[in-house]
């Protein structure tokens, strides 16, 4: 069990709890993006429902349905991005259409999206009328995909794969809410109290921090008295983002950032690809950058010069208000940053002479207002730049700097993606908070 989760210590603890019958009814999987939290939650659901040994290749009916994400005892809520993984799955399949593993990867990436629209939670949802036709189209095309894939007709495969991706993008854009609706939480709670079709039900709530108070309160009622036949898994990037009263009812499993070599192994084994020699190889989150590279118009390589310009310009501007002999570590950080990323920043076509608020206005203008949902990707690249400096420098003080960036970048992403705050306002807040941290002692 959990053989498909590569180099993640949390699953060893989880497997030990299951083997020794100590598994908790409700759990929190927390850790950075692309650390395997969601995959582990899906694997947990399969293992707990398995009619035999729990091994990944188990041939029982329950495991087969779980592997294809078609089990009636699995329900998933929560917002996330699907398009990058779907595009990467498509590319892996088209590179090797005779591979059963590649076909399964693409199919499963689509099912991860489709399963969010279970009739259990979509009944009476106002979005249902908008997405019914595209859901039906996806189901029909998936059936066609499976039959054509077995024949290995390359032209037909490319055509059906493109059509599947188009339908999936439409479904994601029309149907996925940024905030988990209270109605979905209530319907999931009702479903949880019904008897399972097999051995055990599993409810997975991804990015559980994206709930309003009424949703949290509804979930809390379920966690206070969970039915004996269900396991509940919440995922989040930060443990502290979960409301304390909910957190107290969850057993936490911490997922750590994998090493660069382990991330390469994930890409090699799961996506059957290599990242050697590609320009995003330095990034702090290699898996995320690999997936983002498949997004048309949102390629991380295209946004990298703009992100480098922003970070370098912001830090140079902040340095003007810092006394050098009192901030040696800050200027050491700035010197490494400038030396490594100034040339990359020049590719943005922008000048580094902008001051204060002009940096934000210039950035948003060059980024097209970030109206194409690229803001979170842009912020992720900014964090990868600071993480690169921190990771390769060996300076303990730089860890504090990167933690500050993480805090305020996450706040900016939440402001734009969840609270619908204008990107200019969010970036001004980011700039102000980092500058304030410098003056307050961020400079060591």
What is residue 376's predicted lDDT score, i.e. its pLDDT?
82
Q: Where are the alpha helices (DSSP H) in 347-395?
A: 357-366, 375-393
Q: Rounded to 5, what percent of the chain is helix, strand, coil?
A: 65, 5, 30
Question: Where is the domain boundary, 254, 274, 306?
Answer: 254
Which of the residue ranges 71-75, 127-131, 381-385 has the most confident prediction, judged by mean pLDDT?
Answer: 71-75
Question: Where is the domain boundary, 223, 254, 285?
Answer: 254
Is the pLDDT assigned to residue 58 strictly greater than 70?
A: yes
What is residue 282's predicted lDDT score, i.e. its pLDDT?
47
25 falls within a domain: yes
Specify the DSSP class assigned to residue 7.
S
21 falls within a domain: yes
What is residue 237's predicted lDDT score, i.e. its pLDDT?
87
Question: Where is the domain boundary, 221, 254, 287?
Answer: 254
Is the pLDDT assigned to residue 176 strictly greater than 60?
A: yes
Residues 195 and 305 in one domain: no
pLDDT band, residue 293 (cuts 50/70/90): confident
Residues 242 and 390 in one domain: no
Specify the DSSP class assigned to residue 367.
T
Task: Express each pLDDT in 235-285 by its tens digit.
Answer: 998 898 899 999 999 999 999 989 889 999 999 999 999 877 665 544 557
Domain residues for the domain of 149 are 9-254
Is the pLDDT assigned to residue 234 strictly greater than 80?
A: yes
- Which of 117, 69, 119 is closest to 89 using CA atoms? 69
Residues 221 and 148 in one domain: yes
Residues 314 and 400 in one domain: yes
Residues 176 and 322 in one domain: no
- Which of 293, 295, 292, 341 is closest to 314 using CA atoms? 341
What is residue 281's predicted lDDT score, i.e. its pLDDT?
46
d(CA 59, CA 354): 62
Task: Express each pLDDT in 404-427 by its tens digit.
Answer: 888 899 888 888 877 778 888 999
Q: How many domains does the chain have?
A: 2
388's CB contacts (< 8 A; 6+ apart) are 282, 283, 284, 340
Task: Express each pLDDT in 88-126 by its tens digit.
Answer: 999 999 998 889 899 999 999 999 999 999 999 998 888
DSSP, collapsed to helix, strand or coil, labels residue 230 as: strand
d(CA 393, CA 400): 13
d(CA 173, CA 177): 9
Q: What integer best gives the mean pLDDT of the chain?
A: 86
Average pLDDT over residues 69-96: 93
Encoded tokens for 400: 């504090």
381 falls within a domain: yes
What is residue 260's predicted lDDT score, i.e. its pLDDT?
85
Q: Where are the alpha helices (DSSP H) in 293-374?
A: 300-319, 328-346, 357-366
CATH of the domain at 80: 3.40.50.300
Residues 433 and 306 in one domain: yes
Residues 197 and 322 in one domain: no
288 falls within a domain: no
93 falls within a domain: yes
107 phi and psi, to 5 degrees? -60, -45
Residues 304 and 237 in one domain: no
């Amino acid at each position: 069990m959990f053989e498909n989760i590569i180099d993640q210590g949390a699953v060893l603890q989880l497997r030990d709890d299951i083997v020794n019958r100590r598994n908790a009814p409700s759990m929190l999987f927390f850790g950075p993006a692309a650390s395997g939290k969601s995959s582990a939650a899906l694997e947990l659901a399969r293992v707990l429902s398995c009619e035999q040994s729990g091994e990944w290749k188990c041939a029982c009916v329950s495991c087969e349905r779980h592997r294809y994400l078609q089990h009636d005892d699995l329900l998933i809520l929560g917002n996330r991005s699907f398009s990058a993984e779907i595009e990467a799955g498509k590319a892996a399949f088209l590179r090797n259409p005779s591979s059963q593993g590649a076909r399964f990867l693409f199919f499963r990436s689509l099912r991860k999206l489709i399963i969010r629209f279970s009739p259990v939670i979509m009944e009476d949802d106002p979005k249902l009328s908008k997405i019914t036709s595209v859901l039906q189209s996806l189901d029909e095309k998936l059936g066609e995909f499976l039959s054509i894939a077995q024949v290995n007709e390359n032209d037909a495969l490319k055509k059906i794969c493109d059509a599947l991706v188009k339908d999936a993008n439409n479904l994601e854009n029309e149907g996925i809410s940024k905030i988990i609706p209270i109605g979905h939480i209530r319907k999931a709670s009702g479903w949880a109290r019904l008897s399972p079709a097999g051995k055990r039900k599993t409810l997975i709530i991804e990015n559980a921090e994206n709930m309003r108070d009424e949703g949290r309160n509804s979930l809390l009622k379920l966690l206070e008295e969970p039915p004996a036949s269900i396991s509940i898994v919440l995922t989040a990037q930060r443990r502290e983002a979960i409301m304390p009263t909910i957190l107290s009812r969850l057993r936490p499993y911490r997922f750590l950032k994998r090493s660069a070599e382990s991330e390469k192994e994930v890409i090699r084994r799961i996506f059957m690809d290599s990242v050697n020699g590609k320009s995003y190889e330095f990034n702090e989150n290699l898996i995320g950058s690999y997936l983002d590279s498949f997004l048309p118009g949102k390629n991380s390589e295209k946004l990298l010069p703009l992100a480098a310009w922003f970070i370098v310009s912001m830090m140079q501007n902040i340095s003007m208000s810092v006394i050098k002999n009192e901030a040696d570590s800050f200027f050491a950080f700035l010197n490494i940053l400038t030396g490594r990323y100034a040339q990359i920043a020049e590719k943005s076509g922008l000048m580094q002479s902008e001051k204060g608020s002009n940096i934000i206005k210039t950035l948003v203008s060059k980024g097209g207002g970030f109206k194409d949902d690229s803001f979170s990707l842009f912020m992720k690249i900014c964090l990868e730049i600071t993480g690169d400096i921190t990771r390769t420098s060996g300076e303990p003080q730089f860890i504090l700097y990167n933690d500050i960036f993480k805090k305020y970048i996450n706040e900016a992403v939440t402001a734009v993606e969840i609270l619908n705050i204008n990107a200019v306002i969010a970036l001004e807040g980011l700039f102000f908070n980092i500058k304030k941290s410098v003056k307050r002692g961020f400079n060591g």
